[in-house]
Chain A
Amino acid sequence: MTDQPFSIDRDTLLDAYRTMKTIREFEERLHVDVARGDIPGFVHLYAGEEAAATAIMLHLGESDRIASTHRGHGHCIAKGVDVKEMMGEIRGKASGACKGKGGSMHIADLSKGMMGANGILGAGAPLACGAALAAKRRGDGGVAISFVGDGASNQGMFLESLNLAAVWNLPVIFVVENNGYAESTAMEWAVACDSYVDRASGFGMPGVTVDGTDFFAVYEAAGEVIRRAREGGGPSLLECKMYRFYGHFEGDAQTYRAEGEVENLRENHDCIKIFRAAVTGAGAVDPADLNAIDAEALALINEAVAHAAAAPMPGPEDLETDVYISYA
């Protein structure tokens, strides 16, 4: 199948599908496991938003860095963090990506370029500027991505970072994941400008808005701004309009939504369904190949859950380690 309308080869399409499907299965499983009482603490699910993380991360290498948010599972998976280690972390197990010390809101793997999910909204943006500064000094064409929600895009730290990045001409992309809500508050109310493109231009950088449920639109737009940054053209802002399928956190009653809103999202705005229809409709990928990936993704998540469930908790001897460097 060489004749297909996408600028992306078949293997990459399959990879993209695998990533999106892995994120979806991961989050759907967490939704169930939280309800069963298996998961401690706050959990913010990325289900519905998979296309953005997936399409953006396809343009990055391991040495490119990302600064994530409280809703970070999708960013982690798309950036290559081990799914078993993530599941272990979310259950507070010693097998976790951060030895159980961080939890869902703090999964990180610096070796994969993942600088951490973050419990402090907006705090990732200056960090991404720092990673971009390091890349710029190395001169290797590296970039950094700062993910931020529509809510956190109103944070001083974020807005200062836009200015700093522009003044220093940093290779950083600010990706606004606009899912319409910050907790229960509507983006339409809380963000006082007509569009993020306007906001970007106020800070002297290009801004692009894309339909975040359209994998190909995100892929293309991200490719453009990342190429620009790698070539020394400086920062950009990329707004992805998207939808979250679950509550703000697990346990949110979501009474601020319209009636039937979630059903409509799942039916008509599911980025994975849209991707699947596009690639199979164009004859680029055989549905059977996607079905095989569905099964693999599910198997991977089942394996990750079994691994995490069986893993030991950290012990008392771990409580006071890792506060400072060890010279032992």
Chain B
Amino acid sequence: MARNLSMNEAVNEALDQEMARDPAVIVMGEDISGGTGAPGEDDAWGGPLGVTKGLSVKHGDRVMDTPLSESAFIGAAIGAACSGLRPVAELMFVDFMGVCFDEIFNQAAKFRYMFGGKAETPVVIRCMAGAGFRAAAQHSQMLTPIFTHIPGLKVVFPSNAYDAKGLLIQSIRDNDPVIFFEHKNLYDTKTDVPEGLYTIPFAEANVVREGGDATIVTYGQTVQRSLDAASTLAKEGIECDVIDLRTLSPIDMDTVLESVEETGRLVCVDEANPRCSIAADVSATVTQEIFGSLKAGVRMVTAPHTPVPFSPALEDIYIPGADRIASAVRQTVAN
């Protein structure tokens, strides 16, 4: 039975069901339950946006509040992962990654390779990302390319509630370290979500719209914006394939290449900053692999090369919008 759930509820349900299924799964983070040591209610927060609310009531001390010490508790989650547990650690905002990054890119990411294939690090690090929340420069970044740059890390970025549940369960069961992104602007968006456990394999992009004239490749918050652009374009007689990558590492280039072989036109949409972005990565791969199929130059629609501005007037134009996506598609089609 599928219910209409928000992404917030879908993430909560995935954590809850995986904890019930596997006693090795533990969940930790700052205020992930909340109220620890305080005189009022326990489970007072459930994380800053209430995503983990109720988990500590059901799963007791397997849901651990932490002191404000990211390098210690993220590192401990990684150490516990190599020692038999399956921790899901919440870093709150991906922007805080700078505080604990060594444990992720020099430790977790490298263990399997550096130790000659003898180590497993089944840890999931959940974090919020993305702009549009008026959260300013240090609480609004994407930073996705920083993680895809690093061999050994898996990078997952769902765009809707259904994918969030299936991908999070897959992430928890996966034996490699996974950075699991949750776009804070998508928490309230709803889709049908099955009641039971299910997984979505990594490196399986989702073709969310089929067209044939041009291919739009994206992930996260800009999936919906790309779909909006595609409906506008359809009225003008331009039909687009829209591909939601869903996982950025590993990445499903086959689906992208197949689509572009047919359309000959590619627009990569990325809310991250443009330099060395996912958009740049996909563009380069397509150009290298199937240059002969391209009928026009590849276009990228990204955030500008700036920090995220606070002012709503600036933040609204910072995030790639449907209008910018549509005009990029028109340009490739005009060629």
What residues of chain A have their CB less than 8 Å away from a CB belonging to chain B? 40-42, 89, 92-94, 96, 98, 100-106, 118-122, 151-152, 154-157, 181-192, 254-259, 261, 313-316, 318-320, 323
Contact = CB atoms under 8 A, between A and B. Distances in A.
Contacts of A187: 37
Nearest to A259: B40
A289 B23 CA distance: 66
Contacts of A320: 304-306
Interface centre among B35, B72, B95, B133 (most CB of A within 10 A): B35
Contacts of B71: 156
6 contacts: A100-B309, A101-B310, A155-B69, A186-B37, A316-B314, A319-B306
Given A119-B138, A155-B99, A92 B35 contact: no
Contacts of A189: 36-38
Given A100-B311, A192-B67, A319-B317, 18 more contacts: A41-B310, A100-B313, A101-B307, A105-B138, A151-B67, A155-B99, A156-B99, A183-B31, A190-B37, A190-B68, A255-B40, A256-B39, A257-B38, A314-B309, A318-B314, A319-B318, A320-B306, A323-B307
Nearest to B43: A255
A179 to B, nearest CB: 12
Interface residues of B, number: 43
Contacts of B45: 183-184, 256
Interface of B: 30-31, 34-41, 44-45, 48, 65, 67-72, 95-96, 98-99, 133-139, 304-307, 309-314, 317-318
Interface of B, helix, strand, loop or mixed by DSSP: loop
B68 A182 contact: yes
Contacts of A184: 31, 34-36, 38, 44-45
Contacts of A119: 95, 136-139
Nearest to B137: A106
Contact of B72 (A101, A156, A258, A319): A156
B136 A106 contact: yes
Contact of B40 (A122, A188, A257): A257
Given A42-B135, A102-B136, A102-B310, A156 B69 contact: yes
B107 to A, nearest CB: 15
A106 B140 CA distance: 13
B99 A120 contact: yes
Interface of A, helix, strand, loop or mixed by DSSP: loop
Contacts of A101: 137, 307, 309-311, 314
Contacts of A40: 134, 310, 312
A130 B314 CA distance: 32
B95 A120 contact: yes
Contacts of B36: 184-186, 189-190
A305 B72 CA distance: 42
B34 A41 contact: no
A183 B311 contact: no
B69 A256 contact: no
Q: Which 8 A-B pairs have the closest CB atoms?
A: A189-B37, A186-B37, A103-B310, A119-B138, A92-B311, A41-B134, A313-B313, A100-B311
Contacts of B311: 92-94, 96, 100-101, 103, 313-314
A214 B35 CA distance: 27
Contact of A151 (B48, B68, B135, B304): B68
Contacts of B65: 185
Nearest to B96: A120
A192 B69 CA distance: 12
A86 B290 CA distance: 53
Contact of B312 (A42, A118, A313): A313
A106 B20 CA distance: 42
A106 B310 contact: yes
Nearest to B304: A320
Contacts of B44: 184, 255-256
A3 B227 CA distance: 76
A319 B137 contact: no
Contact of B34 (A120, A256, A313): A256
Contacts of A157: 99
A76 B16 CA distance: 43
Contacts of B67: 151, 154, 182, 185, 190-192
Contact of A154 (B31, B68, B133, B305): B68
A100 B39 contact: no
Contacts of B69: 154-156
A98 B30 CA distance: 30
A189 B65 CA distance: 10
A186 B38 contact: yes
Interface centre among A89, A93, A104, A189 (most CB of B within 10 A): A189
Given A155-B69, A256-B38, A102 B313 contact: no
Contact of A316 (B31, B95, B135, B317): B317
Contacts of A318: 314
Contacts of B30: 182-183, 185
A306 to B, nearest CB: 19
B30 to A, nearest CB: 7
Given A154-B67, A319-B304, A105 B309 contact: no
B34 A185 contact: yes
A92 B31 CA distance: 29
A105 B310 CA distance: 10
B120 to A, nearest CB: 27
Nearest to A316: B317
A151 B38 CA distance: 13
A192 to B, nearest CB: 8
